[in-house]
Amino acid sequence: MSTETIFYIALVAVLAVVLAGYQYLVGSEKTRLRFILALIRAATYFLVGLLIVNPKWEQNSFLNEKPSLLVAIDNSESISTLGQTDQALEVIEALNSSEDIKERFDLSFFKFGDKLKPLDSLGFDERQSDINSVFKGLKQVYQEGVAPLVLVSDGNQTFGSDFEYGSKDFKHPIFPIILGDTISYSDLRIDQLNVNKYAFLKNRFPVEIFMSYSGKEAVSSKLQILSGSSVIYSSNLSFSEDNTSQSINLTLPANRVGVLSYSARIVPLNNEKNVVNNSKPFAVEVIDQKTNVALVSSFAHPDLGALKKAISSNEQRQVDILDPVQFLRKIEDYQLVIFYQPDSGFTRALQTLEENQSNLFIITGSKTQWRVLNGIQFRYEQEVTGQVEDYQPSLNDNYNNFIIEDLDFSSFPPLRSEFGELSVNIPYETILYKSLNGNVIEEPLMLSHEINGRREVLLVGENIWRWRAQSYLNDDSFNAFDNFIGKIVQYLASDKQRRRLTLDYESFYNGNSNITLTAQYFNKNFEFDNKANLEIVLRNKTTDQTQTIPFVIRQNNYQVDLSGLDPAEYSFTVSSTNGEASRSGSLTILDYNVEQQFLNANARKMNAIAEASGGSSFSAGQIVDLMQVLIDDSRFATIQKSVKKVVPLIDFKILLFLLALSLAAEWFTRKYNGLI
User: Residue ranges of the domains in the chain?
Assistant: 3-61+644-672, 67-183+600-637, 187-287, 291-493, 501-595
- Give the chain's residues under pLDDT 70: 1, 57, 59, 62, 184, 494-498, 512, 524-527, 595-596, 599, 642, 649-651, 676
Residues 405, 128: Cα–Cα separation, whole Å? 23
Question: How many Å separate Cα 561 from the centre of its chain?
Answer: 18
Q: 566, 530, 574, 529: which is closest to 548 by C-alpha?
A: 574
Q: 185, 126, 175, 179: which is closest to 154 by C-alpha?
A: 179
* 250 beta partners: 207
Q: What fold characterizes domain 501-595?
A: Immunoglobulin-like (2.60.40)
pLDDT of residue 64: 74
* 589 beta partners: 509, 568
Please list, residue by residue across 652-676, b when 16 or more beta carbons sit within 10 angstroms of its beta carbon and e when fewer do: eeeeeebbeebbebbeeeeeeeeee
pLDDT of residue 525: 64
Cα distance between the two ends of the chain = 41
pLDDT of residue 23: 79
In the Cβ-directed half-sphere of 75, how many Cα atoms lie within 13 Å?
Answer: 22
3-class state of residue 88 by DSSP: helix
Angle subtended at Cα 561 by Cα 491 and Cα 524, rounded to the nearest 5 degrees: 45
Q: 522, 463, 457: which is closest to 492 by C-alpha?
A: 457
Cβ(562)–Cβ(549) under 8 Å?
yes
Cβ(502)–Cβ(552) under 8 Å?
no
Residues 636, 355: Cα–Cα separation, whole Å? 77
Angle subtended at Cα 268 by Cα 156 and Cα 227, rounded to the nearest 5 degrees: 95
Residues 19, 41: Cα–Cα separation, whole Å? 9
- pLDDT, tens digit, 9 for 90 and up, residues 500-539: 788 888 888 877 677 889 888 887 666 678 888 899 999 9
Angle subtended at Cα 647 by Cα 646 and Cα 649, rounded to the nearest 5 degrees: 145
Angle subtended at Cα 359 by Cα 354 and Cα 363, rounded to the nearest 5 degrees: 90
pLDDT of residue 430: 92
In this structure, which amino acid lies at residue 624? V
Alpha helices (runs of H) in 476-531, residue ranges in sequence order? 479-493
**Backbone phi and psi for residue 114, each to the nearest 5 degrees, phi listed first:** -85, -10
pLDDT of residue 257: 84
Cβ(560)–Cβ(551) under 8 Å?
yes
- Which H or E run contains 342? none
Residues 378, 247: Cα–Cα separation, whole Å? 59
Beta strands in 379-476 (DSSP E): 380-382, 388-395, 415-418, 422-424, 429-436, 439-451, 454-460
Q: How many CB atoms neighbour CB 104 within 10 A? A: 20
Q: What is the DSSP letter of 76?
A: B
Cβ(404)–Cβ(556) under 8 Å?
yes
Q: Please count the residues of the chain.
A: 676
Angle subtended at Cα 168 by Cα 162 and Cα 173, rounded to the nearest 5 degrees: 120
| 463 φ/ψ sector (left φ>0, alpha ψ -120 to 50, else beta) | left
Residues 354, 556: Cα–Cα separation, whole Å? 33
Question: How many Å separate Cα 410 from the centre of its chain?
Answer: 14
Q: What fold characterizes domain 291-493?
A: Rossmann fold (3.40.50)
Residues 190, 210: Cα–Cα separation, whole Å? 6
Burial class (CB in 10 A: 0-12, 13-18, 19+), 584: exposed
pLDDT of residue 676: 65
Q: What is the CATH number of domain 67-183+600-637?
A: 3.40.50.410
pLDDT of residue 210: 93
Q: What fold characterizes domain 187-287?
A: Immunoglobulin-like (2.60.40)
**Backbone phi and psi for residue 150, each to the nearest 5 degrees, phi listed first:** -100, 115
pLDDT of residue 1: 62
Cβ(175)–Cβ(150) under 8 Å?
yes
In the Cβ-directed half-sphere of 598, how many Cα atoms lie within 13 Å?
Answer: 28
pLDDT of residue 498: 64
**Backbone phi and psi for residue 148, each to the nearest 5 degrees, phi listed first:** -60, 150
Residues 317, 287: Cα–Cα separation, whole Å? 12
Rg (alpha carbons) of the chain, rounded to whole number: 37
> Packing angle between helix 302-312 and helix 465-475, nearest 10 degrees?
60
Alpha helices (runs of H) in 498-615, residue ranges in sequence order? 603-613
pLDDT of residue 275: 84
Alpha helices (runs of H) in 73-131, residue ranges in sequence order? 77-81, 85-97, 99-104
Residues 583, 571: Cα–Cα separation, whole Å? 11
pTM comes to 0.61
Cβ(108)–Cβ(153) under 8 Å?
no
How far from 479 is each of 311, 407, 471, 607, 633, CA to CA, in Å?
11, 10, 8, 34, 45
Cβ(517)–Cβ(560) under 8 Å?
yes
What torsion, rounded to 10 degrees, do the Cα atoms 495, 500, 501, 506 define? 20
Q: Can 67-183+600-637 and 501-595 be said to share one CATH topology?
A: no
* Residues 6+ away with beta carbon under 8 Å from 128: 76, 113, 114, 158, 159, 512, 594, 595
